[in-house]
Amino acid sequence: MSRATRPPVGQEAIAVHGWWHAHRFLVLRRISQLFFLGLFLLGPWAGIWLVKGNLTSSLTLGVLPLSDPFVFLQTLAAGHPPLLTVATGALAGAVIVALVYALIGGRVYCSWVCPVNPVTDAAHWLHTRLGLKKGWQPKRGTRLWVMAMVLAVSALTGSVAWEMVNPISMLHRGLIFGMGFGWTLVAGVFIFDLVLSRRGWCGHLCPVGAFYGLLGERSLLRVSAANRAACDDCMDCFDVCPEAHVISPALRGSAGTSPLILSRDCTNCGRCIDVCPESVFRFTHRFDDRTSDDPVQATQPGATRAA
Amino acid sequence: MNVPFKSGSPIDRRRFLGDAARAVGGCLVAGTFLARMATDARALPAQALRPPGALDEAEFLGACIRCGLCVRDCPYDTLALAELGVDGAATGTPFFTARDVPCEMCEDIPCVAACPTGALDHGLTDIDDARMGIAVLIDEEHCLNALGLRCDVCYRVCPVIDKAITLEVEHNARSGHHAKFMPTVHAEACTGCGKCEKSCVLPESAIKVLPIRLARVDAAEHYRLGWEDRQPLVDELIDLPDRLPGPGTDNLVTPGGFEPAFKLPEALK
Ligand code: SF4
Ligand code: SF4
Ligand code: SF4
Ligand code: SF4
């Protein structure tokens, strides 16, 4: 079906499952993003100091240190002795954060926490509304090169290089501590995604996303196209997925292949689960590779209706 | 979508190499800009002072992750994180401007305690050892004390009064028979807290805290200050046999020693 003749993305899911069901993970994600930002803003705005600091390092309730492992890695590359950070909290904080994301999926950071995600999502929404061209689409591995570049520059200049320009920090730190002209970098990302490159920033370039992707390579929490036999090729999941290439291997895999979306690029945003009218997807763990095409569990024989 | 690599096919290999070359090229260009920004950021403006215990600027930029925990734990709101394009310090790093809010030199140094990375050195336990900068009496033409009046404000507010800053009596050449009480900073005790700069009564401070790199020079190694350094430069030549007591020695008060024509003050005897 071509886009012109198809109903708008998600329409079918709303018709079948209702609005809430077709938006639950999107709404939960926005709540989560607001929650994490709100925790940090509660101090400076309302004087309630549950969390101090910002995403690069924070102290929660005066006891729990959390640090961004990618920023921490840059300090190591810059030559800051890690021993100095043992007693001071950054090391422990970075390890805790790394462990959590290694477990639940590195790019959960991207879709559930990162404050730039609503920005690039908004850019994508407008991009689609205006029917703009896909634009420049760098190769998938580009962000890994960018990540390597950031670490190399950190090592060469002896400074935490990405924090000079990181739009995430500009926005997050900016909202909490004062933005200056940091908003220009955030606006730059928005415009880049809007006109130059569809899903360009988070999907192709951001080294922070690349790092968290690597971190979650073996993560436990996964989306599975468990009920893939029911897929009617409406393509809605491909339309909402910020990393659409991760879906095919799981959804289109022949019988006997894993229905799990195992790519490190998957952000666990759950939008595919939301918009699928046939309830093909669900959250599960990485060892659960049951599918509806197993003869035992097949519920809808000959389910591939459309074409 | 994913075109699976038929490994070994020369076309795929060529395409792969082409893609890799493009990525590397792009990253080199972007990396050069980033490196340029990172090195530019080392040029900390003179008025921006780092919190107590901050490592040397070059090391500091590799250690500070711009979390702002030091800012939050400063009870006097002295510190702020530099904002892009507004404050001159590297974006997101903590600094203070002495004339706005000086450092109050907290005894427990909460900013250092809060720092998760050691960018503020946790080895700093006595705030008097902090070296955020050095105060310099920068405008001797307008400082009221330097004009021969008694203002003394910078001297009186100094938390390390009489060690970091003293009033040195000088002859007032203008009037010919008065004294000037020159505010004089002693680098070995000045913490660079900026209380003096904050308090100067002039519209703009006549005494300013400067970064150490601007305010101090290294003493030339080949000069020896004879009145401080009692060790002779060349031992063999100077270490003559002692002829004590007796005429010709410098032992002025030993009996038999050289007696000057004038009377020595009582205290020296
Ligand atoms: S010593 Fe006290 S006043 Fe000075 S910067 Fe640290 S917390 Fe602020
Ligand atoms: S607490 Fe330390 S790492 Fe954080 S902003 Fe201050 S100096 Fe930098
Ligand atoms: S900066 Fe001024 S007030 Fe602070 S220690 Fe030095 S002389 Fe004293
Ligand atoms: S406060 Fe200012 S005017 Fe007064 S003595 Fe100090 S430097 Fe001079």
> Which amino acid, one-letter code, is at A35?
F
If you measure CA to CA, which chain B residue comes closest to A69?
Answer: B65
CB-nearest to B34 from A52, A141, A153 is A153
State in Å: Cα B183 to ligand 3 middle.
11
- Does B106 contact ligand 1 (Cβ within 6 A)? yes
Rg (CA), chain B: 29
CB-nearest to B83 from A57, A157, A179 is A179
Instruction: State how far the Cα of A114 lies from the Cα of A275, in Å rounded to an integer.
Output: 22
**Best to test chain B binding among A80, A168, A192, A241 (most B CBs inside 10 Å):** A80
Point out the least confidently predicted range of A229-233, B66-70, B78-82, B263-267. B263-267
- B182: nearest Cα among B145, B229, B217: B145
Q: Give the pLDDT band of residue A297 (cuts 50, 70, 90).
A: very low
Q: Give the pLDDT band of residue B166 (cuts 50, 70, 90).
A: very high
Identify the pLDDT of residue B233: 60
Residue A298 has pLDDT above 50, yes or no: no
Across the interface, whether the CB atoms of B117 and A138 are under 8 A apart is answered: no
CB-nearest to A177 from B30, B61, B68 is B68
Residues in A closer than 8 angstroms to B1, CB to CB, are 244-245, 248
Ligand 4 neighbours by CB, cut-off 6 Å? B 137, 143-145, 151-154, 183, 200-202, 206-207
- Does B111 contact ligand 1 (Cβ within 6 A)? yes
Torsion of CA A193, A196, A128, A173, to 10 degrees: 10
Identify the pLDDT of residue B67: 95
Point out the least confidently predicted range of A210-214, B49-53, B203-207, B247-251. B247-251
Identify the pLDDT of residue A255: 82
State in Å: Cα B75 to ligand 1 middle.
7
State in Å: Cα B108 to ligand 1 middle.
9
DSSP H or E segment with residue B97: strand B94-97
Q: Is A222 helix (H, G, I), strand (E, B) or coil?
A: strand
pLDDT tens for each residue of B14-35: 888 888 888 888 899 999 999 9
**A149-163 b/e (C-beta count within 10 Å ≥ 16 → b):** bbbbbbbbbbbbbbb
Identify the pLDDT of residue B171: 94
pLDDT tens for each residue of A258-293: 999 999 999 999 999 999 999 999 999 999 988 877
pLDDT tens for each residue of B110-148: 999 999 999 999 999 999 999 999 999 999 999 999 999
Instruction: State how far the Cα of A258 lies from the Cα of A287, in Å rounded to an integer.
Output: 10
- Model pTM score: 0.85
- A204: nearest Cα among A121, A166, A153, A147: A147
Q: Are B183 and B207 in contact (CB under 8 A)?
A: yes
Percent of chain A with pLDDT over 70: 94
Higher per-residue confidence, A112 vs B264:
A112
Q: How many CA atoms lie within 13 A of B247 on its CB side?
A: 1
Residues in B closer than 8 angstroms to A160, CB to CB, are 61-66
As a whole number, mean pLDDT of residues A113-122 equals 96
Identify the pLDDT of residue A303: 42
Identify the pLDDT of residue B156: 97
Residues in B closer than 8 angstroms to A153, CB to CB, are 31, 34-35, 38
* Ligand 3 atom at minimal distance to the Cα of residue B192: 1
Residue B80 has pLDDT above 80, yes or no: yes
Q: Are B200 and B102 in contact (CB under 8 A)?
A: no
Residues in A closer than 8 angstroms to B85, CB to CB, are 180-181, 184
Residue nearest to atom 6 of ligand 2 (CA): B70
How crowded is residue A221: how many other Cβ atoms within 10 Å of its Cβ?
15
Q: What is the mean pLDDT of chain A?
A: 90
CB-nearest to B37 from A88, A145, A165 is A165
As a whole number, mean pLDDT of residues A91-103 equals 95
Residue nearest to atom 4 of ligand 4 (CA): B151
For the record, the structure tokens of B171 come out as 């002859």
Instruction: State how far the Cα of B193 lies from the Cα of A97, in Å rounded to an integer.
Output: 36
How crowded is residue A5: how many other Cβ atoms within 10 Å of its Cβ?
6
Chain A: give the shortest CA distance to residue B52, in Å: 16
pLDDT tens for each residue of B178-204: 999 999 999 999 999 999 999 999 999
For the record, the structure tokens of B150 come out as 């008694």
State in Å: Cα A179 to ligand 1 middle.
23
Complex ipTM = 0.88
Identify the pLDDT of residue B17: 84
Across the interface, whether the CB atoms of A157 and B35 are under 8 A apart is answered: yes
Identify the pLDDT of residue B4: 47
Residues in B closer than 8 angstroms to A173, CB to CB, are 66, 68, 81, 92
Q: Is A268 helix (H, G, I), strand (E, B) or coil?
A: coil
Residue A62 has pLDDT above 80, yes or no: yes
pLDDT tens for each residue of A216-226: 999 999 999 99
Residue A295 has pLDDT above 60, yes or no: no
Identify the pLDDT of residue B247: 55
Q: How many CA atoms lie within 13 A of A167 on its CB side?
A: 24
Q: Are A118 and A110 in contact (CB under 8 A)?
A: no
Across the interface, whether the CB atoms of B38 and A67 are under 8 A apart is answered: no
Instruction: State how far the Cα of A211 lies from the Cα of A213, in Å rounded to an integer.
Output: 5
Residue A3 has pLDDT above 90, yes or no: no
Q: Give the pLDDT band of residue B41 (cuts 50, 70, 90).
A: confident
